[in-house]
A and B are shown apart, each in its own frame.
Chain A
Amino acid sequence: MSSCSSPWSTMDGNQNDICGQSANLTSNPLYYQFGLDNPLFGMGIQQPFPPSTSPFGASSSTNIPHMDWKPAMMLDNLTFIEEKIRQVKDVIRSMVDNGGQLPGRTGDIVQQQQAVNADLTCLIVQLISTAGSLLPSLKNSSFLSHPPAGHMDMANHVGSSSSMVPYTTISEENNEVMCSPEDYDELFKGLTDGTVEGGIEIDNVLVEEQDTKDGDEGGDAGMDGENLLPGSYELLQLEKDEILAPHTHFCSICGKGFKRDANLRMHMRGHGDEYKSPAALAKPPRDASTEHAMVKRYSCPFVGCKRNKLHKNFQPLKTILCMKNHYKRSHCEKSYTCSQCHTKKFSVLADLKTHEKHCGHVKWLCSCGTSFSRKDKLFAHVALFQGHTPALPSEESKVSDQVGRVGSHQEPAKLTSSMGSFMWDNSSGDDTVLDIKGLDSCGDDFLSTANFGSFNFSFGPLDEIKGNPSEGSFAMLPSEHFQSVREKGEN
């Protein structure tokens, strides 16, 4: 259980050591993964779970009989892992050999590296899920309730080395419950992606994070609304893989992963009646002891980042969710692309969804073709650039907009015929730039209606329209229609 393998490192004690190592590890991803793997393997085989963590709290008074965690399955898993490792080793060995012979074929090497990376990721996931199956079974083990004192001391400095439950155990000296259920809960909520099921709380945190991002990055630590002195808080740093792990809760029986502990509890009901008791289903109670614990702050594992503890103007991240989102936004590939504009990319799904809410609602246009969702932003843009002028959304675009929307579902004929006259009426007077822009945005809108379903998880496109007739663009039609008639009269 060296600090090297610990995903959670604290600032106290052997700080320099950790910093040095983490710097090394992150700067060389390949080495880092191997370095990380070995101790994990050892641990996974010999001592599958460290004694210092307890997911549901040892204070649980439920009398669930000792669950057999199916050693056979465990063994299968481990064999699979071993097999996988062997494969990877072979690949790497061949890489070493080939690397000497054919130094010019970099493309192949890159490909192989990617394959190795993928394999290793698979390995880690497998390991985590294997070890995760231990979690519920541990809660009744007697030694957990009375952890060795020496270990507790160490936990204070180093924290848990468990890689599958990336969560610190900061224990008070006389506390038999090493990890408070509350802490655990919060942590896991934070660790869950939070974007698919998007709870309100998580949204709030997201907004906060974005705000700080918008704000002056050059400011001092006070910009987070607090001014903590270095050392007055406990600093934690997760490694890349923990940050990016899709699941943080795993079923001990079937190995299925979950983002939230509550979902896991719901899932567990299917595994037997013992999981259906109110106590087993209850949210682990909040423990008072953690409230006196030190304030926690987080450091980004990316060396050179301002949020990394090695940076000279280091600004810690407030919550684990902040850290996850920060890491994804700043240091990960932006893999989510908006399906409407096909230009905006995001690395956090929630950001994409926020964007898609407003994408296509272009109200404020500049003559240069840039569009803004807010009027003040447009005016700031126009003020900044010489010769740019606010462009009025041409009526033609409005009209074809309506035609597009109407055409996508009902009775297009009547309305299009009445609107054709507007288009004709307009095309005489209006200007080229505007018209082109208008048609563009019209196309976007059309797409948006057609593609809407792909981002709505519960509804298909038709469901959406039928389900929310009042919210759809269709309901807006009469007033818009009226307006355009009026504006036509003006001309």
Chain B
Amino acid sequence: MAMATHHQPKRCRFSPAAPPPPLASLADELIFLVLDHVAAADPRALKSFALASRACHAAESRHRRILRPLRANYLPAALARYPSASSLDLSLCPRVTDATLTAVSGSAAPSLRAVDLSRSRGFGAAGLAALAAACPDLADLDLSNGVDLGDTSAAEVARMRRLQRLSLLRCKAVTDMGLGCVAVGCPDLRELSLKWCLAITDLGVQLLALKCKKLRTLDLSYTMITKECFASIMKLPDLQVLALVGCVEIDDDALGSLEKVCNKSLQALDISNCQNATDEGVSSVVKSIPNLLELNLSYCCPVTPSMVSSFRSIAKLRTLKLEGCKFMADGLKGIGMSCVSVKELSLSKCSGVTDTELSFVVSRLKSLLKLDITCCRDITDVSLAAITSSCTSLISLKMESCSRVTSGGLQLIGKRCSHLEELDLTDNDLDDEGLKALARCSKLSSLKIGICLRISDEGLSHIGKYCPELRDIDLYRSGGISDDGVTQIAQGCPMLESINMSYCTGITDHSLMSLSRCAKLNTLEIRGCPRVSSSGISEIAGGCRLLSKLDIKKCFEINDMGMLYLSQFSHSLRQHMWLAEHDHCTFSGYYA
């Protein structure tokens, strides 16, 4: 973007007497439609378009809605160039000062609706005041991680009267006073996150519940709220999503205090990690929220038959997450009896999941779409047979580290669940036969087969041939694969966005060369692949312009040459993990 602004005047000088471009006769709406289409196919195309001519540049300027500057000091220029930008994402600017924000208001951006300051620090109340004055229509403000922001900042936020979405995540210095200002000042708030706001108490939340009646999403995770304000939160008429993760003060007493409150709007409740809540509290709270669709009880309480039977009152329940829970006798069976409408069930890391109970549950939950049985180490092929035979419409199955399931059982997945889109078989006894069976899942988009030591290029070639939708593949430490398999994947899966080949020691530059044809690739992890060199990286840098995450730690053959290519082409690169092991390289050129 910044580059574009710099290059523009030069280009104009080349064609001073050119005939008026046909673009001028096109309506903006049509151009925008075209640009949208082009951008969807290749985000970099817009830049090329803008560089084509002055008219194109102007059209592109009018078209852009989202600004994501790399440096905060480009901000005024960017705002001047894109007057119709509605969203300003400063997440790439770690330091945004009050002066920067004042400059934003100086360049007058009344069209701005959303500002993201979640990863920026260095600004305070004065900057927010300038922002509030400059953007009267601001509806979305993300101040996450603003550990320096205090009540004065919150009071400035309260002046943005049309704010609908606000995140104060980890704003630990904001107290009830600041929250009270926001509650009174922003009556239209729909979505608010107060996660980790440790200084707020019941008083502030009660006032919030009283003043912001339009709240739909409220995140109070890891706050110190107690029973006092729980009832007033539950009385919010439009509340749909409530997160109370890790609220230690929310105990059975609080959950049970909703005797007469009945919230018909609440659809999702997350009380995971609430250490003091037990099955009794959960049983009593679900009676007050009859329309619940999503319930997360991860790491919360043991699953008892009585608690599960109380789920009958939330007949519409679609998602039930029970990660890390301990199942009491017949607890799991009760889920099969009470929660027949569940479409998404997570039992990852649960203890007490046995073949008989799991088989019973899946036989009752015919409409299950997503199942997570990660680290259920007791289950065997029996469970897998039951899952694959009764839940044939599964689109997501995660079963990392189910070590007692054999390759024969894993073959059943491919044979019976052909609708699968997401499959996690990390650390399983998968072999090429299993991969061959998985080739039937033509919609597969995410496949994680890390630490599957028995797979080889032959199996991968099946995936490459028959799974064209694949976007994400994880081959972490699957040592049996080499360049041939990766090439098959790269050729057969043009949509590939992410590939992890860490510690696949057979990988060489050839793999990267073939992967460079996947234009959408944004994540490449080749940590600990010693045979990859700078030439491979240069291929990637040239072909995968969208690359934003690259892990080349312990790739000792990569040196400055590769970095130069990366610095030249990969402007999207955000995260790179290499430094510790790369003492012999100097990356001075990268930031040039």
Contacts and interface: CB of A to CB of B under 8 A. Distances in A.
Given A389-B158, A487-B152, A490-B150, A382 B125 contact: no
A379 B150 contact: no
B421 interface: no
A379 B126 contact: no
A364 B185 CA distance: 18
A490 to B, nearest CB: 5
Interface string A452-479: 0000000000000000000000000000
A389 B183 CA distance: 8
* Interface of A (DSSP majority class): helix
A386 B58 CA distance: 47
A428 B150 CA distance: 18
Contacts of B211: 383
Given A390-B180, A390-B181, A490 B203 contact: no
Residue from the set A364, A375, A389 with the largest chain B CB neighbour count within 10 Å: A389
B151 interface: yes
A383 B126 contact: no
A116 B554 CA distance: 106
B148 interface: yes
A428 B126 contact: yes
A490 B158 contact: no
Interface in A357-416: 364, 375-376, 379, 382-383, 387-390, 392
Given A383-B206, A383-B207, A383-B210, A487 B180 contact: no
Contact of A429 (B129, B176, B203, B206): B129
A490 B125 contact: yes
A174 interface: no
A491 interface: yes
B124 interface: yes
A392 B184 CA distance: 14
A490 B207 contact: no
B177 interface: yes
B151 A392 contact: yes
Contacts of B153: 490
B441 interface: no
B180 A490 contact: no
Contacts of B185: 389
Given A390-B177, A429-B129, A490-B150, A379 B207 contact: yes
B152 A382 contact: no
A19 B134 CA distance: 74
Contact of B184 (A390, A428, A490): A390
Interface in B118-134: 124-126, 129
B184 A387 contact: yes
A289 to B, nearest CB: 51
B184 A389 contact: yes
A390 B182 CA distance: 9
Contacts of B126: 428-429, 491
Nearest to B204: A379
B96 interface: no
Contacts of A392: 151-152, 155, 177-178, 181
Contacts of B125: 429, 490-491
B149 interface: yes
A389 B180 contact: yes
Contacts of A487: 150, 152
A364 B207 CA distance: 15
A389 B124 contact: no
B329 to A, nearest CB: 47
Interface string B152-183: 11010010000000000000010011101100
Nearest to B182: A389
B222 to A, nearest CB: 22
Contacts of B181: 389-390, 392
B177 A490 contact: no
B229 to A, nearest CB: 11
Contacts of A490: 124-125, 148-150, 152-153, 173
A487 B129 CA distance: 16
Contacts of A387: 184
Residue from the set B124, B184, B210 with the largest chain A CB neighbour count within 10 Å: B184
Contact of A379 (B98, B151, B180): B180
Contacts of A429: 125-126, 129
A154 B184 CA distance: 68
Given A389-B158, A390-B184, A491-B126, A375 B176 contact: yes
A379 B178 CA distance: 12
A230 to B, nearest CB: 38
A388 B203 contact: no
A416 B204 CA distance: 35
A487 B151 CA distance: 10
Nearest to A367: B184
Residue from the set B129, B153, B185 with the largest chain A CB neighbour count within 10 Å: B129
A391 to B, nearest CB: 8
A387 B187 CA distance: 10
Contacts of B204: 379
B184 A388 contact: yes
Interface in A395-449: 428-429
Contacts of A388: 184
A382 B150 contact: no
A412 to B, nearest CB: 27
Nearest to B148: A490
Contacts of A389: 158, 180-181, 184-185
A389 B154 CA distance: 12
A382 B210 CA distance: 10
A324 B127 CA distance: 59
A376 to B, nearest CB: 6
Contacts of A364: 177
Contacts of B124: 490-491
Nearest to B209: A383
B190 to A, nearest CB: 20
A375 B201 CA distance: 11
A491 B99 CA distance: 11
Nearest to A389: B184
A305 to B, nearest CB: 37
A389 B184 CA distance: 6
Contacts of A383: 206-207, 210-211
Given A491-B124, A491-B152, A379 B184 contact: no
A390 B206 CA distance: 14
B204 to A, nearest CB: 8
Nearest to B126: A429
A90 B125 CA distance: 76
B203 A375 contact: yes
Given A389-B158, A390-B184, A379 B203 contact: yes
Residue from the set B152, B204, B206, B211 with the largest chain A CB neighbour count within 10 Å: B152
A392 B150 CA distance: 11
A487 B149 CA distance: 10
A389 B178 CA distance: 10
Nearest to B173: A490
A428 B158 CA distance: 18
Given A389-B158, A428-B126, A382 B149 contact: no
A454 to B, nearest CB: 34
Contacts of B177: 364, 390, 392
Interface in A316-374: 364
B62 to A, nearest CB: 35
A388 B207 CA distance: 12
Contacts of B155: 392
Interface string B182-198: 00110000000000000
Nearest to A429: B126
Given A389-B158, A429-B125, A379 B152 contact: no
11 contacts: A376-B203, A379-B180, A382-B180, A382-B207, A383-B210, A389-B158, A392-B152, A392-B177, A491-B125, A491-B126, A491-B152
Top 4 closest pairs, chain A to chain B, by CB: A389-B184, A390-B180, A491-B124, A379-B203
Given A364-B177, A389-B185, A429-B126, 6 more contacts: A375-B203, A379-B206, A390-B184, A392-B151, A429-B129, A487-B152
